[in-house]
Amino acid sequence: MSWAPEQIDRPEVLAEVRLAFWQYERDLMANDVAALNAWFWQDPRTTRYGIADRQLGIAELVAFRAATPAPDFTRTLHHLRIVAFGPDLAVAQVEFLRSDTTLRGFQSQTWARMSPGPGGWRIVSAHVSMIPFKV
């Protein structure tokens, strides 16, 4: 498939995904397990690679969230980049710094619109890593 230039980074799509991204971040730091689970595609093909873990499918992800304690750190986000392809697919990437380590974190999420409207966005794939890194 090729993307016509006018289909890439449509302002309304970027706004919807940006809002979903920040709502997810709020829920992550609040450890709102029900909300976090709801942000992901409810499907066995959902994939999340974490810092020292991985979840293949929504069932593993739900179990992981249930066993994960609330964060005892804060984090600041840097260099958020969102690219949208058409009305229903976007990739969000961000760097983060946590208050409990000097490592730099990287987070990528693939978002897909699974139902009509701005509230239909779900994460279908996510990857989180942390490494020593100098800016």
What is the chain's mean pLDDT, rounded?
95
pLDDT at 4: 87
Q: Is residue 125 part of a domain?
A: yes
Q: Is the pLDDT of residue 1 over 80?
A: no
Give a yes or no: residue 1 inside a domain. Answer: no
Domain extent for 27: 7-131
Q: Beta strands 47-49 and 121-131: pairing type?
A: parallel
Q: What total of structural domains would you count in the chain? A: 1
Q: Mean pLDDT throughout 32-38?
A: 97
Per-residue pLDDT band for 134 (boundaries 50, 70, 90) equals confident
Rounded-to-integer distance, Cα 98 and Cα 71, Å:
10
